[in-house]
Amino acid sequence: MENSKNNNILGNTESNSKSSNIYNKMDSKIHSQDSKNAKVMESRALDSKIHVQDSIKDSKVDSIKGFAKFRLIFILAFLSAIAPLSTDMYLPALPNVAKSFAVDDFYAQLSLASFFTAFAFGQLLYGPLSDIFGRKKPLYVGLALFILSSVGCVLVDSIHLFIALRFFEALGGYSGVVIARAIVNDRFEVKDAVGVFALMMVVSSLAPMLSPSFGSILLKFFSWHSIFATLFILGVVLFFLVMFYLPDSKNFTKDSKDSIESKRNLNKLDSKDSSQIHHAQDSIESNILSPTHHPTTKPHFNAFATYLRILKDKTFMIYIISGALAMAAMFAYITGSSFVFINIFHLSSEGYALIFAMNACGFIVCANVNARLVKSIDCVKIINVAFILMCIFSVILALVGILSNNVVADSKDLSFIDFFSFKAGVKFVFFELMLLCTLSMLGFLLPNITTLAMARYKDVSGSASALLGATQFGLAGLTSFLVGALNANTTMLLGCVMCGCVLCGTFLYFFGKDSK
């Protein structure tokens, strides 16, 4: 009996051990399967990260060299110049437009005001659109709107329709400025982007320098309608250049959506592995999202949320507002300089054209020098020195302006040769010299500060570019209004307004950053 009991106990023990072994093997298989699933999901997470990083690297311009790279930069510069070109070429025709429609000068000036109003609105519109649909599709729409509006300006016979068409012309034309900046941010590394931004600003500064003269030549031989016919032709040429030679940019928003698709595929796995799935999803998010950049990973792009996120970035806002304040000094100069040089110093139109060209050349030379300096010197150091020098020059400009306020030149209607013969007086020479030095510093300042600001938002560079441009033109328009409201058509007021803009921008840049 005892032996039988022992045998039964041994049998039960053996059966229990066998059962436990079976359960252990099953448990180990489950854990093994779980670990395999976890490894697979971690591998997919890593692949998602690598996919995003590779897509960014592939979109850079390193693979584009020689003539193709030159052609790309040329198209981007052309895009950035079409809007200012359509502004300044039209300026000599303002009196002719008023006479043609038999209206007061106010209505002709209102057509210019509507053009500037569309600048800020257009930038805020095209930035998010280019982040959602890519760069080329919104560009096609904008250029088509510019072309059709230019044709309408030629054919229209009502001043009110003309003002409306000028608004839509600006709304379409300024798509090039916004999207060109975004494409540079997409396809160039930081140091290369500085050089490209500098070249674009050179072209943008050449456009207002040369376009008034070109508009005057057209008016000598044709009516003011020829200006808009010329803009129509330029728009068509640019449209086909974009269609055939401008590569579209892969933006980060689109690529980050691919990572979301990877996350959705993970959800198809067994529900028992939910903990590993969440771990892999968290791995994807932590690998893709960096502390500085938080790409828009929602399938539906939220423009308001994107702008709100950028506006909360204090460093970005300090960059663009301080740069916009410095740029506002240039718009104050553009608004009031013709009255100062022609009415006070009594320069002829040729003499004023030379002054305007000299100051523009100073900006261009400094922008080209800056493109070389950034290869060996940090952008931040260049910005620091540029702000300090610009402050010094603008303070001297204000002092010279106060001392030479309402000075009348020795002889009237001075030609461009008289500038070098000192007939206009020593005070005039010093005033122009300080203007030249102050404005030239923008060639060092604007490309670098634009690059640093845009580099913070590779994921939504279109929206960042739009906000940057809207801020610049908003402050520039406010400054131009201030110059007109103060009747700042004297050396003292013009110098003081420019100095005030520069000092405010410098103070914000240095002390705003330090307080961060």
* Nearest alpha-carbon partner for 442 in 239, 177, 204: 204
Burial of 7 by CB count in 10 Å (0-12 exposed, 13-18 middle, 19+ buried)? exposed
**Per-residue pLDDT at 246:** 80
Please name the residue that has the structure tokens 């300024």: 174
**Per-residue pLDDT at 318:** 92
The CATH number, out of the four listed (2.20.70.10, 1.20.1630.10, 1.20.1250.20, 3.40.50.300), of the domain defined by the range 58-262: 1.20.1250.20
Annotate 229-260 with b (16+ C-beta within 10 A) or e (fewer). bbbbebbeebbebbeeebbebbbbbbbbeebb
> Where in the sequence of the chain do the CATH 1.20.1250.20 domains occur?
58-262, 303-516
**Per-residue pLDDT at 106:** 66
Dist. CA 470–CA 120, nearest whole Å: 4
The angle subtended at Cα 77 by Cα 73 and Cα 80, nearest 5°, is 140
- Which CATH fold would you assign to the domain 303-516? Growth Hormone; Chain: A; (1.20.1250)
Cβ atoms of 390 and 441 within 8 Å: the answer is: yes
Q: Which tokens go with 26?
A: 């099953």
* Nearest alpha-carbon partner for 390 in 354, 443, 430: 443
**Per-residue pLDDT at 65:** 63
**Per-residue pLDDT at 61:** 45
Helices of type H across 222-313: 225-245, 252-266, 274-288, 303-311
Rg (CA), the chain: 31
Please name the residue that has the structure tokens 């493109």: 371
Q: Which tokens go with 192?
A: 């290369």
**Per-residue pLDDT at 514:** 54
Q: Which tokens go with 389?
A: 């020098």
Dist. CA 208–CA 202, nearest whole Å: 11
Dist. CA 381–CA 389, nearest whole Å: 12
**Per-residue pLDDT at 26:** 52
Cβ neighbors of 321 (< 8 A, separation 6 or more) are 471, 475, 505, 508
Walk along the chain (516 residues) and give the pLDDT tens digit of each residue. Answer: 555 555 554 455 555 554 555 445 555 554 555 555 545 555 554 454 444 444 444 445 444 566 777 788 888 888 888 887 887 777 667 777 878 888 876 677 677 667 777 777 777 777 777 777 778 888 899 999 999 999 999 999 888 999 899 989 988 888 888 788 778 777 777 667 777 777 776 676 677 667 777 777 887 788 889 999 999 999 999 999 988 888 766 544 444 444 434 444 444 444 444 444 444 444 434 443 333 344 444 444 566 787 888 888 888 899 999 999 998 898 788 777 776 777 778 776 667 767 777 888 888 888 889 888 888 888 889 999 999 999 999 999 999 888 876 554 444 444 444 444 444 567 788 888 999 999 999 999 988 998 888 888 877 776 787 788 778 877 876 777 677 667 666 888 888 999 999 999 999 999 886 544
Sequential DSSP letters for 314-365: HHHHHHHHHHHHHHHHHHHHHHHHHHIIIIIS-B-HHHHHHHHHHHHHHHHH
Report helix, strand or coil for 243: helix
pTM above 0.75, yes or no: no
